[in-house]
Amino acid sequence: MAVLSPATNTAELLQYLPAYKVVICATCRYAIQPNAIERHLKELHKFRRDHRRPFMQYISKLDLNLPDKVREIRNTESPVPLLPVHDGLQCMHEGCMHLCVSAKRMKGHWLSVHGRSGQIDFDWHPVALQTFFRGNLLRYFTNSHGYPATDSTRSNIPINTCDRYTEKLNWNGGEVDDTDPPSISRLLLQSQLDESDSTLLHHYITSTSLSLATDARTKTVWQVTVPHIASQFPFLFHGILACAALHLAYLDPSQGRELMIRGRVHQDRAMPLFRSAIENPNKDNCDAVFAFSHLLVIYSFAAEREDEQLFLVESNTLEVLPSWLYFIRNGCSMLCDVWDQVESGPVGSLVSVWEIPITFSEAEQEPLMDSLLSAIPLQGFEDSWSEDVCEIYRDAATELGVAFSCTQDSSVSFTAWDALRIWPMRISEAYLNLLSQRHPGALILVAHYCILLQRLDSHWYFEGRAKRLLFAVMSCLDRRWHHIVKWPFGEIEDMSFISPKT
């Protein structure tokens, strides 16, 4: 996007259409929803705060509709000024009026909605299409009566990228091909994706999947294999869309609320189906179950409402583990009857990540262990712990020492899966019970574990989570224990906003 001069006139850049109560960016040629205008000026046009001020003063005087209200308005002119005009198609089935921008999508619409293959010129006709908004809010409309856009009104902006992608992607390697892959066609048709979910699917394949990969093999699994499997298992399909929605929300905060809600909807649809599948894992569904378990971790890390609860659960609930940690810790036993199938199957490279040997040096453990063990109160004092609790604490502290020792090599990449397998997978149920009770010993260990989690902060699904988890721990931990957690408090930057429990 071109960087505009700060001297740009407000009414020239942000043009108000009173008939629709929207503001159109004259440069970008689409409407901006009211709560995203300042971010649009900052992120896309690089205006500093003082340069944005006159624009926001101008906007504050306008009567603006929210996107849902704009879409309810029947157009009073055609075409709507400032908006691009696309060559599109309109369904001719009685009462339908479906609009899209490609013959392939229209054919899919006819198969999934009307139950047969449609025919060009008989079942749909060309029309000129426009849309006020882009991205997740994209909705086409038309005022035309069967005529295509002329050369003078045709937009030079490409058609919907998801349409083009599903038409051209070769699933055997990502090369351009003119054939339509059967699996993606089936996925689109059976699921009857709307424009928003089509965008999420496209984003997952082209971006989110790459962010989950740790090497070339896992890149192929996440980008190609998992979507193939998802075409047969709705819970995995919804898990893909849920993670893609959260990834997009991270990349585009102006659409964050809508995308978080859409992600939550998909996750809520996925979980009952996943729980049903995990009750009877077999050779047919084991790959989907294993892949979804990983997506569940990513979703839980990324979901805003989970920020302070990654390892903590309410003490008055029956659950000792958050659901994602439960499935990861118990995955091997749940899938034990089909583990050979998973290990040698299409998602086998994900299995190998969990089987890397854990090596450590006892000498490197000593300073940390001395500090952690010094937290155990002397027996006979008012706040002393029972011997059973002391033993549970020592065991979990030893495992944490191992975790720190085996991650000392800064030249070796540290992944989310490493963060899980070196401590959460190895601690005892008894320790997790103490954690659910907010026992100070359990909280002290989590505070130190946050130092390792901070190394994941560059990942979109974990940004800021270690800091927030440490905040949650400190808010539960009485002040008399704070001297034990000085190291994690000092290691994780900008913790000054924390108001510790007194």
Same domain, 187 and 268: yes
128 contacts 149 by C-beta, under 8 angstroms: yes
Q: Which amino acid is at 149?
A: A
Same domain, 323 and 451: no
pLDDT one-digit tens code per residue, 190-205: 456 677 888 898 889 8
135 φψ region: left (φ > 0), alpha (ψ -120 to 50), beta (else): left
Boundary residue ending a domain (349, 372, 388): 349
Coil, strand or helix at 234: helix
* Counted domains in the chain: 4
29 contacts 73 by C-beta, under 8 angstroms: no
- The shares of helix, strand and coil residues in the chain, as percent rounded to the nearest 5, are 55, 5, 40
Lowest average pLDDT, out of 26-35, 166-175, 181-190, 258-267, goes to 166-175
165 pLDDT tier (thresholds 50, 70, 90):
very low
Global pTM value: 0.56
Percentage of the chain surpassing pLDDT 90? 12
Q: Which amino acid is at 271?
A: M
pLDDT score at 309: 55
DSSP letters spanning 460-477: TTTTTHHHHHHHHHHHHS
Boundary residue ending a domain (20, 49, 72): 72
pLDDT one-digit tens code per residue, 285-305: 999 999 998 898 888 888 854
Query: Does 1 fall in a domain?
Result: no
pLDDT score at 415: 76
pLDDT score at 240: 96
Query: Does 174 fall in a domain?
Result: yes
**H or E stretch covering 351:** helix 348-354
385 φ, ψ (degrees, to nearest 5): -100, 155
> What is the mean predicted confidence (pLDDT) over 470-495?
80
> What is the mean predicted confidence (pLDDT) over 145-156?
33
Same domain, 230 and 255: yes
Boundary residue ending a domain (349, 377, 395): 349
Please give the residue range of the domain that contains residue 314. Answer: 164-349
> Residue 199 contacts by C-beta under 8 Å, 6 or more apart in sequence?
135, 136, 138, 162
Coil, strand or helix at 319: coil
Same domain, 272 and 383: no
Query: Does 392 fall in a domain?
Result: yes
Q: State the angle between helix axes of 234-251 and 256-279 in degrees (0 to 180), rounded to the nearest 10.
A: 150
pLDDT one-digit tens code per residue, 72-114: 665 556 678 888 888 888 888 888 888 988 888 888 888 878 8
Percentage of the chain surpassing pLDDT 70? 73
pLDDT score at 172: 33
* Spatial CA neighbour of 73 closest among 128, 139, 155: 139
What length is written for the chain?
Answer: 502
393 pLDDT tier (thresholds 50, 70, 90):
very high
> What is the mean predicted confidence (pLDDT) over 255-262?
89
Q: Are β-strands 30-32 and 22-25 bridged in parallel, bridged antiparallel, or unpaired?
A: antiparallel
Q: Is 256 exposed, middle or buried (0-12, 13-18, 19+ CB in 10 A)?
A: middle
- As a whole number of angstroms, the distance between CA 224 and CA 222 comes to 6
Query: Does 362 fall in a domain?
Result: yes
| Top mean-pLDDT range of 164-168, 192-196, 318-322, 411-415 | 192-196
Same domain, 14 and 101: no
Same domain, 224 and 342: yes
* Spatial CA neighbour of 422 closest among 352, 351, 354, 335: 354
Coil, strand or helix at 89: strand
Same domain, 429 and 323: no
> What is the mean predicted confidence (pLDDT) over 348-354?
75
Task: Assess whether pLDDT exceeds 80 at residue 223.
Answer: yes
Q: Which two tokens stand for residue 491?
A: 């290691």
Same domain, 342 and 361: no
Same domain, 421 and 324: no
